[in-house]
Structures are given as structure tokens and as C-alpha cells.
């Protein structure tokens, strides 16, 4: 069975828009889609305004997810190249 097609970058943003539209506007607290070099994506939808009290808190979550994704990419690069500097 063939692998499913890889979504395009615009498909990733459309999927987030669909997720936003499925939730009442009163429950929307923020959304972020980040496409990293190499195609890895980070998607975050906050739908509880009480849980996200200010923009700094929201950006802290997004920044944390980006940091984790970058660490995973770097770890994978080191695993795939045993001669890489550590």
C-alpha cells in the first residue's frame, strides 16, 4: 500500500484554520503554526482563554515547543552522523 501523500505547507495552515473554525470564537486563545527547515511542523492551538492569560505566556509555550523540536532535530543529526561533534 503506498504511503499517504505528504501535506503541502499550505495544507498545514488550512488544517489549523479548520481546527480554529470548529471551536467557538469565545474559546479561542491563540494559534501558531511553525514550519521548520526540513519540513518539521509545530502546531499549537489554545482554546481556553482562562489558561492563557497573556501573550507572553502563549509565546512561552510556542517558544518552548520550537526549542524542543530543534533539540530533536539536532539529536537526530548526531545519531545519523556518528562522527559529528558532540
- Is residue 54 a part of any domain in this protein? yes
Q: What percent of the chain has pLDDT over 70?
A: 94
Distance CA 52, CA 28 (A): 10
- Is residue 4 a part of any domain in this protein? no
- Is residue 56 a part of any domain in this protein? yes
Do the beta carbons of residue 57 and residue 28 sit within 8 Å?
no
* Domain count of the fold of the chain: 1
- Is residue 39 a part of any domain in this protein? yes
Residue range(s) defining the domain that contains residue 14: 9-80
pLDDT band at 67 (very low <50, low <70, confident <90, very high): very high
pLDDT attached to residue 22: 92
- Is residue 85 a part of any domain in this protein? no
Does residue 86 have a pLDDT over 70? no
pLDDT tens by residue, 3-15 = 677 778 899 999 9
- Is residue 86 a part of any domain in this protein? no
- Is residue 34 a part of any domain in this protein? yes
pLDDT tens by residue, 17-29 = 999 999 888 888 8
Amino acid at each position: 500500500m503506498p504511503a499517504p501523500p505528504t501535506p503541502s505547507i499550505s495544507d498545514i495552515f488550512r488544517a489549523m484554520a479548520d481546527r480554529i473554525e470548529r471551536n467557538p470564537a469565545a474559546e479561542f486563545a491563540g494559534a501558531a503554526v511553525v514550519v521548520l527547515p526540513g519540513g518539521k511542523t509545530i502546531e499549537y492551538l489554545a482554546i481556553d482563554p482562562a489558561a492563557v492569560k497573556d501573550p507572553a505566556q502563549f509565546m512561552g509555550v510556542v517558544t518552548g515547543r520550537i526549542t524542543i523540536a530543534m533539540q530533536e532535530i539536532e539529536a537526530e543529526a548526531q545519531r545519523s552522523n556518528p562522527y559529528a561533534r558532540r
